[in-house]
A and B are shown apart, each in its own frame.
Chain A
């Protein structure tokens, strides 16, 4: 079964600095999706960025970018120019590419990294 590991339970960064959150995953598939979700104190899950495994180019969304290392099964999130509003739990997620018996494609989540922004 696919697993997602976030080895950093907590991270902190000074406002305006850059921080990188780590994620590794385990799969035998060659085609899949990877995501980073943000969960602020409201607990609403917000999609930050997604990466398609067949694309070599790293995804970027404004201040958020990823370092996707397919061979190493690593998918880190870099937040540049950190802002106070970036404080949240960040979850890495993997989407199973195969069609299961009933056809659903599941999202498997890591345990999360709590990011604190210091003013």
Chain B
């Protein structure tokens, strides 16, 4: 069966520090991969999506970037975090219809 792993679960980082969140999927090949951000009590905002290795599309201009070095690995990065980058980040994968989500990472920038 397919599983998705996302880590870390919680992260506190100072302003100006770098960021790397990782997501891996098991049990499927060539999935579509997504990074979403959720502000407190709000809906999900799509940040990046990828249909294959090295293929990244950005939905919102921002301080973040994404990479897909392997078929089932998706990484969210930043060179210098801003206070506004705080939030709950969710990785997801899909093949045919619905998306399946990781456990999420709660990022607090201080």
B108 interface residue per 8 A CB criterion:
no
Compute how far the CA of A24 lies from the CA of B90 in the bound complex, rounded to whole angstroms.
24
| Secondary structure call for the B interface | strand
Chain A residues within CB distance 8 Å of chain B:
33, 35, 42-45, 47, 50, 52, 91, 95, 100-112, 114
- Cβ of B43 and Cβ of A50 under 8 Å apart? no
Please provide the 9 A-B residue pairs with the shortest distance between their CB atoms, ordered closest to farther. A45-B101, A111-B43, A109-B44, A104-B49, A103-B51, A109-B43, A104-B51, A104-B32, A33-B97
Offer 8 A-B interface pairs, CB within 8 angstroms, sorted by A: A44-B104, A100-B57, A103-B51, A104-B34, A104-B51, A105-B94, A107-B34, A109-B43
Number of A-B residue pairs with CB-CB distance less than 8 Å in the complex they form: 60
- Cβ of B51 and Cβ of A107 under 8 Å apart? no
- Cβ of B43 and Cβ of A104 under 8 Å apart? no
| Secondary structure call for the A interface | loop
CB distance from A33 to the nearest CB of B (A): 5
Contact with A along B81-102 (1 / 0, CB 8 A): 0000000101010100111110
- Cβ of B49 and Cβ of A50 under 8 Å apart? no
